[in-house]
Amino acid sequence: MHFETLAIHAGQEPDPLTGAVVPPIYQTSTYKQDGVGGLRGGYEYSRSANPTRTALEECLAAIEGGRRGLAFASGLAAEDTLLRAVCRPGDHAVIPGDAYGGSYRLFAKVQDAWGLGHTPSAGHDADAVRAAIRTGETKVVWVETPTNPLLNIGDIEALAAAAHDAGALLVVDNTFASPYLQQPLTLGADVVVHSTTKYCGGHSDVVGGALVVRDLDLAERIGFHQNAIGAVSGPFDSWLTLRGLKTLGVRMDRHCDNAEKVVDFLTRHPAVSQVIYPGLAEHPGHAVASKQMKRYGGIVSFRVAAGEQAALDACARAQVFTLAESLGGIESLIEHPGRMTHASVAGTDLEVPADLIRLSVGIETVDDLLADLDRALHTTAG
């Protein structure tokens, strides 16, 4: 079956008890046993498993081309659980040179204290990643593609080869692309990470995370840690995320349509010094993005010619674009990464340009988005 069919049906058979077409929200912590150990369908306690979460996990596995999905309370909870499952003190990870700030903080301020070393490296340069790998020590090569917020593109096939040559796992954070635009497991990655808070949920109304894997032994190890640590997705959050997944395909197409028009508009705008979007022929990752992505996504970053204050002013003046962190929802958002999402990497190698603005282009009528940007930027210029 194809993507949209899987998104709507995988893991979502009508409820056997009532025929309910939509998987119910099983808002229960525990389950009656038919005699000691007589579990119905394997459910005994909702940290370990819950039917609404199972539906979400099966759907995620199907649409990522994986064999098992695991749903968590947030993207970072998924990341932390994965690292604890596959790394030990003394191990090492190669991470993106422009990682999402929260992921960087997890490696630098949390995992580091427990003995997991890390080396930032340009994920868009497979040779640089190879050079950063320490054979025997590196257990994980971590990649975001496209990256947040600079939209660099890593070649998943080349990075998988580099990781596997050293006996390491390739982990791909697929949050920005979503499984509709890119399926890293089919390109050789071992683990896909999602902040399902973003495109998967898609409506800015739920925080969640996911891991998807092909290898069932690895799935077993991660599943053990999911239960042992307990940072799981609750039933209502799972239900909201699953509802979001059903429309992921149509939403992503509209996000991409609108983003392409925004890019075209910004490229010609006098207040803008650079537009960063993998769909642009001059983007250094354009060829690789064209090879591994269906389209180029809904995130557009750009630099404001007049500098940081002008970028801050434009963010403040936008009206249809809401000034807010996060991304991937149906409504358009604008943010200043240097002062907002990426404030935690200020002063490090991962610092982002001060004149940078990131847009999460929503699915509103695009003419209203263009008019809003024009207003915000003209005031800046004048």
Ligand X SMILES: Cc1ncc(COP(=O)(O)O)c(C=O)c1O
Shortest distance (Å) from residue 174 CB to ligand X: 9
Q: Give dist(CA 98, CA 149) in Å, integer.
A: 8
**The one-letter amino acid at 3:** F
Furthest-apart CA atoms within the chain: distance in Å:
76
Nearer to ligand X, 118 or 317 (CB): 118
Please identify, among the stretches 70-78, 212-220, 314-322, 370-378, the one whose residues bind ligand X according to the rule CB under 6 A: 70-78
Q: Note whether 70 binds ligand X by CB under 6 A.
A: no
What is the pattern of x (binds ligand X, CB under 6 A) and - over residues 167-206? ------x-xx------------------x-x---------
For CA atoms 343, 348, 353, 354, the dihedral sign is positive
Please pick, from the candidates 11, 51, 75, 234, the single residue that binds ligand X as defined by CB under 6 A: 75
For residue 28, give both structure tokens. 């229960």
Choosing from 81, 138, 148, 380, the residue that interacts with ligand X (CB under 6 A) is 148
70: alpha, beta or left? (left if phi > 0; alpha if psi -120 to 50)? beta
Q: Report d(CA 338, CA 346) in Å as an integer.
A: 7
Distance CA(347)–CA(113), nearest Å, equals: 20
Amino acid of residue 332? S
Q: Which is nearer to ligand X, 332 or 380 (CB)?
A: 332
**Position closest to ligand X via CB:** 75
- Kindly state whether residue 52 participates in binding ligand X, applying the rule CB under 6 A: no
H/E element holding 276? Answer: strand 272-276
Between residue 90 and residue 129, which ones bind ligand X under the rule CB under 6 A?
Answer: 100, 102-103
Catalytically active residues, by annotation: 47, 100, 173, 198
Q: Does 207 bind ligand X (CB under 6 A)?
A: yes
Asked whether position 144 contacts ligand X by CB under 6 A, the answer is: yes
Instruction: Give Cα 112 to chain centroid, integer Å.
Output: 22
Smallest separation (angstroms) from ligand X to the CB of 14: 30
In this complex, which beta carbon is closest to ligand X, that of residue 147 or of residue 380? 147
How would you classify the pairing of strands 299-304 and 272-276? Answer: antiparallel
Q: Report the interface residues with ligand X, using CB under 6 A.
A: 74-76, 100, 102-103, 144, 148, 173, 175-176, 195, 197, 207, 209
